[in-house]
């Protein structure tokens, strides 16, 4: 049975880059997506063309039954040893005073509850005390967790703050189970997420003013994720790596 990596939201952006690097590292990859089957199929085809193994699995991480189905698909594919909790959403830039309860529910259901439930399913399979062979979990945080997102998306920033806390807590909780847990905090990365939050020009507008004079790439984030999962990171658990070109240390 091959070692399986699940990448939630593996069909585009950072998730797609992670799925491709994960396959290169030898994982059979579950490329999860929410609705864009075509994008997921492209990632699976790129992995197959490179000699790797991958399947596309639809599922909304904001829905528990979908999460269970994603993990059941992974069980049929091989032995789960890596989870990348990557799926995440932003919303339109607004001050808190204008945010609806429905928006907050969706943000926290997908970004926080979805990540915790996926990690729960992963721990149930990986924990050595439950007969698993151990593994790694990497969560996608954001430098927004430190900056706070004032005037734009304090809800998103708070959801990522929760991811940071969860990463540290779960790392300690499963430390004797052969499972390491880490996170990456990307800065501004050139993906579609900005357009989905109504700011399609965010990378072009903000890139030149960033400390490195540019936004980051999905591949630059994926490399940090793969490092955390690898044996090279054997003494790193509970670690949260900034991949932000120093954006996070701006005042």
Which residues lie near ligand NAP (CB under 6 A)? 8-9, 11-15, 32-36, 39, 60-62, 86-89, 110, 140, 142, 186, 188-189, 191-193, 196
- In the complex, minimum distance from the CB of residue 116 to ligand NAP, in angstroms, rounded to a whole number: 14
3-state secondary structure of 243: strand
- In the complex, minimum distance from the CB of residue 107 to ligand NAP, in angstroms, rounded to a whole number: 10
- In the complex, minimum distance from the CB of residue 131 to ligand NAP, in angstroms, rounded to a whole number: 28
127 or 181: whose CB is closer to ligand NAP? 181
235 is catalytic: no
159 or 237: whose CB is closer to ligand NAP? 159
Instruction: Compute the distance between CA of residue 246 and CA of residue 121 in angstroms, rounded to an integer.
Output: 34
133 or 202: whose CB is closer to ligand NAP? 202
- Determine contact, residues 121/68, Cβ cutoff 8 Å: yes
- Dihedral class, residue 229 (left if φ above 0, else alpha if ψ from -120 to 50, else beta): alpha
134 or 211: whose CB is closer to ligand NAP? 211
- In the complex, minimum distance from the CB of residue 128 to ligand NAP, in angstroms, rounded to a whole number: 28
Nearest to 22 by CA among 36, 3, 49: 3
Q: How far apart are the first and last CA of the chain?
A: 49
Task: Please give the backbone phi and psi of residue 9, each rounded to the nearest 5 degrees, phi first.
Answer: 60, 45
Nearest to 77 by CA among 40, 43, 9, 28: 28
The CA angle 91-92-96, to the nearest 5 degrees, is: 90
From the candidates 27, 33, 153, 156, which is the catalytic residue? 156
**Residues taking part in catalysis:** 156
């Amino acid at each position: 049975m091959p070692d399986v990596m699940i990448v939630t939201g593996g069909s585009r952006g950072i998730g797609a880059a992670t799925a491709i690097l994960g396959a290169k590292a030898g994982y059979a990859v579950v490329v999860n997506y929410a609705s864009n089957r075509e994008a997921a199929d492209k990632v699976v085809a790129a992995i197959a063309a490179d000699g790797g193994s991958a399947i596309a699995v639809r599922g909304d991480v904001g829905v528990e039954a979908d999460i269970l189905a994603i993990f059941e698909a992974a069980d049929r594919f091989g032995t789960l040893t890596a989870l990348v909790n990557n799926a995440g959403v932003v919303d339109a830039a607004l001050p808190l005073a204008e945010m609806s309860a429905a928006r907050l529910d969706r943000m926290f259901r997908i970004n926080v509850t979805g990540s915790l439930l996926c990690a729960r399913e992963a721990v149930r399979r990986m924990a050595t005390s439950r007969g698993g062979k151990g593994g790694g979990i990497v969560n996608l945080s954001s430098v927004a967790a430190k900056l706070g997102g004032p005037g734009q998306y304090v809800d998103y920033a708070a959801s990522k703050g929760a991811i940071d806390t969860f990463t540290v807590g779960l790392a300690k909780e499963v430390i004797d189970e052969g499972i390491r847990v880490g996170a990456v905090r990307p800065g501004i990365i050139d993906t579609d997420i900005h357009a989905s939050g109504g700011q399609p020009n965010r990378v072009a507008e903000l890139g030149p003013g960033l400390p490195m004079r540019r936004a980051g790439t999905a591949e630059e984030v994926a490399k940090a994720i793969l490092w955390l999962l690898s044996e090279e990171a054997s003494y790193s658990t509970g670690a949260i790596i900034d991949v932000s070109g120093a954006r996070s240390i701006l005042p």
